[in-house]
Amino acid sequence: MSSRQRKLSASTPAGDAASRLRAIYERLVGTYGPQQWWPAKTPLEVVVGAYLTQNTAWTAVEKSLRNLESQGLLSVVGLRAISEEELRVHIRPSGYMIRKAAAIKAFIAFLDREYEGSLEKLAEESPHIARERLLALPGVGPETADAILLYALGQPAMVVDEYLRRVVTRHELLPIASKYSEVQRLAEGAFEGDPAATRTQHYNEFHAVIVQVGKNHCGRVPKCETCPLLFDLPAALPRKGSAA
């Protein structure tokens, strides 16, 4: 952590960081418009996509999903019936096919065992319990669990990905070494005053527009000069005592 970020973490109130993040969200919505994410036709396709997108570009995931769809396998029945070995072949474009095929089959077995093979029944579960159960499955970390909760089950879960981490650390809202849960709490704080009924929609749009700015500007090498968030970037703002 840099000395500047140590000072930041000690001196910047959490409320100020949350307010800035909310302003970032509103600027991005104004720039990109409603995204209506996740790009999938069914809740189960969201679930499968959440597994396949781990450590993989979305273009590769789309190839795997097309393979599954063309064989009529994007259903609980289809994924239950196919062997793990066959599943590996269809999802090969997404990489890590052995691990991902095993994880998808484990999810289907979990859904059958606990919820009669019904995503609708899983969606009726308490979000806290559903998240704990998802995290107990192989191949499911916090980001995958929260993506499933938000996009497949319609629950108010804040998804933290590498793009969001880059934005909050480059804008010095949090230190670089912040944990997933710390970034998540900050992002949730940006919507703390919103009605519960609209929170899921905001979480959805927030993640989607963060992905947009991440792809266009906040990659591994940042392109700040044309970024819509330049207004909030500390490095771009004049310091006290410096020339305007």
pLDDT mean over 228-238: 79
Question: What are phi and psi for residue 234, nearest 5 degrees?
Answer: -55, -35
pTM of the predicted structure, to 2 decimals: 0.87
Q: Which pairs count as long-range contacts for 5-8, CB under 8 Å and 24+ apart, including other chains? A: 5/169, 5/172, 5/175, 5/176, 6/175, 8/172, 8/175
pLDDT(121) > 80: yes
d(CA 103, CA 101): 5
37 pLDDT tier (thresholds 50, 70, 90): confident
* Segment 132-145, tens digit of pLDDT: 999 999 999 999 99
Domains of the chain (ranges, CATH numbers): 3-36+158-236 (1.10.1670.10), 43-152 (1.10.340.30)
pLDDT(38) > 60: yes
Apex CA 217: angle with CA 214 and CA 223, to 5°?
145
φ/ψ bin of 116: left (φ > 0), alpha (ψ from -120 to 50), beta (otherwise): left
% residues pLDDT > 90 (the chain)? 83
Residue type, 133: R
pLDDT(104) > 80: yes
Q: 140 burial class (0-12, 13-18, 19+ CB within 10 angstroms)?
A: buried
Pull the structure tokens for residue 130: 């559903």
Positive or negative, the CA dihedral 48, 53, 59, 64 is: negative
Nearest to 156, CA basis, from 197, 117, 124: 197
What pLDDT, on the 0 to 100 scale, is given for residue 14? 59
pLDDT(12) > 70: no
pLDDT(99) > 90: yes
